[in-house]
């Protein structure tokens, strides 16, 4: 684990040691969570209650099961933050970050960079996190790194997916549902519930005009891993210029997925397309992720 340990020297002379968590950190992590304001703890764990001992132990053990869980330890031995990822059955990583109030402002972004880099080194292409829609702090952090969103059935939750080693995230390595990419959508797509009922997983990407998309490969005529892994693409941009830009990008990149422009498609036509059984070209079976 030595290569995953580093010391961060601060301008005021203090130091933070960032290292993989062990069972000996159980008490320190518990103290970190106990010290959180109740609302912050609810945003982090979806409940105001402190996480159970078993939950904390599962985080600590992530490093022994293909993932990573780090603690940031102060000079006096207190845990100022923790961050890490676990590997899901679909081949993607799920990450989370907790930072003590006194250490916020830079440490969360630094920890996310470290975790993304580590996941990329270990062959993981995307990392996801379920975030309460009211957790603006976490969403701003994700925005600075660039993300797409997986539309979940629960509207109070935003599931962000971020690339570890590329400009845009890819689809999970293993997946049994058809994949619908909605481009140019600034938030939840209005048709996501219908698509879910018809057996689609919906990922929305803000497109080249969105803050959550630092670089849009299609806008530069290059392949996008989300497009390459999709079974259907719907362009839902409000701007005619953005729609035209995306269409040209699809043409130059040689995208193989069918592309529909929502503004030019009647609602009943789109509903029929979502309800149609998988065609021969659609991925009704899992497949490996695509990379640019």
Q: Is 290 helix (H, G, I), strand (E, B) or coil?
A: coil
Asked if 175 and 200 sit in the same domain, the reply is yes
Asked if 85 and 30 sit in the same domain, the reply is yes
Please state, for a pLDDT cut of 90, what percent of the chain lies above it. 66
Q: How far apart are CA 117 and CA 6, in angstroms?
A: 14
Last residue of a domain, one of 124, 147, 170: 124
* pTM for the structure as a whole: 0.86
Rg of the chain over all Cα atoms, to the nearest angstrom: 20
DSSP 280: T
Q: Give the domain range for residue 88.
A: 1-124
Asked if 169 and 184 sit in the same domain, the reply is yes
- How deeply is 178 buried, as exposed, middle or buried, from its count of CB atoms within 10 A (0-12, 13-18, 19+)? buried
CA angle 230-233-234, nearest 5°?
Answer: 155
Asked if 28 and 99 sit in the same domain, the reply is yes
What is the predicted pLDDT for the residue at 144?
Answer: 86
Asked if 233 and 289 sit in the same domain, the reply is yes
| Residues 20, 21, 23, 28, CA torsion sign | positive
Asked if 151 and 225 sit in the same domain, the reply is yes
Report the mean per-residue pLDDT for the chain.
Answer: 89
Asked if 290 and 168 sit in the same domain, the reply is yes
Last residue of a domain, one of 108, 124, 140: 124
Residue-wise pLDDT for 146-161, tens only, equals 899 998 778 899 999 9
Asked if 158 and 284 sit in the same domain, the reply is yes
> Could you give the residue ranges of the DSSP H alpha helices within the chain?
26-35, 38-45, 53-60, 107-121, 136-145, 192-197, 225-228, 240-253, 267-275
Tokens of 65: 């099961």
- How deeply is 162 buried, as exposed, middle or buried, from its count of CB atoms within 10 A (0-12, 13-18, 19+)? buried
Residue-wise pLDDT for 59-90, tens only, equals 999 999 999 999 999 999 999 999 999 998 88
Asked if 135 and 258 sit in the same domain, the reply is yes
Q: Is 266 helix (H, G, I), strand (E, B) or coil?
A: coil
CATH code for the domain of 10: 3.40.630.30
Q: How far apart are CA 136 and CA 132, in angstroms?
A: 8
Structurally, the chain folds into a number of domains equal to 2
Q: Grade residue 285 by pLDDT with cuts at 50, 70 and 90.
A: very low
Asked if 73 and 180 sit in the same domain, the reply is no
Asked if 120 and 32 sit in the same domain, the reply is yes
Asked if 192 and 93 sit in the same domain, the reply is no
Last residue of a domain, one of 87, 104, 124: 124
């Amino acid at each position: 684990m030595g290569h995953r340990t580093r010391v961060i020297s601060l301008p005021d002379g203090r130091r933070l040691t960032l290292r993989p968590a062990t069972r000996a950190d159980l008490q320190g992590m518990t103290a970190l969570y106990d010290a959180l304001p109740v609302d912050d703890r609810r945003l982090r764990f979806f409940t105001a209650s402190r996480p159970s001992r078993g939950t904390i132990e599962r985080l600590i053990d992530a490093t022994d099961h293909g993932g990573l869980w780090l603690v940031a330890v102060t000079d006096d031995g207190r845990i100022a933050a923790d961050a890490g990822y676990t590997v899901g059955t679909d081949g993607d990583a799920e990450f989370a970050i907790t930072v003590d109030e006194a250490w916020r402002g830079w440490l969360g972004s630094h920890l996310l960079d470290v975790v993304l880099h580590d996941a990329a080194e270990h062959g993981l292409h995307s990392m996801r996190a379920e975030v309460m829609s009211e957790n603006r702090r976490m969403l701003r952090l994700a925005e600075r790194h660039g993300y797409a969103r997986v539309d979940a059935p629960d509207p109070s939750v935003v599931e962000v997916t971020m690339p570890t080693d590329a400009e845009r995230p890819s689809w999970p390595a293993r997946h049994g549902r058809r994949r619908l990419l909605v481009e140019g959508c600034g938030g939840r797509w209005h048709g996501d519930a219908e698509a879910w009922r018809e057996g689609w997983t919906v990922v929305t990407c803000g497109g080249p005009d969105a803050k959550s998309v630092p670089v849009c490969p299609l806008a530069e005529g290059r392949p996008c891993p989300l497009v390459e892994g999709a079974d259907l693409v719907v362009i839902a941009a409000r701007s005619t210029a953005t729609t035209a830009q995306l269409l040209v990008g699809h043409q130059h990149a040689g995208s193989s997925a069918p592309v529909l422009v929502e503004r030019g498609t009647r609602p009943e036509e789109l509903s029929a397309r979502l309800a149609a059984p998988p065609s021969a070209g659609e991925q009704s079976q899992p497949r490996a992720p695509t990379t640019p």
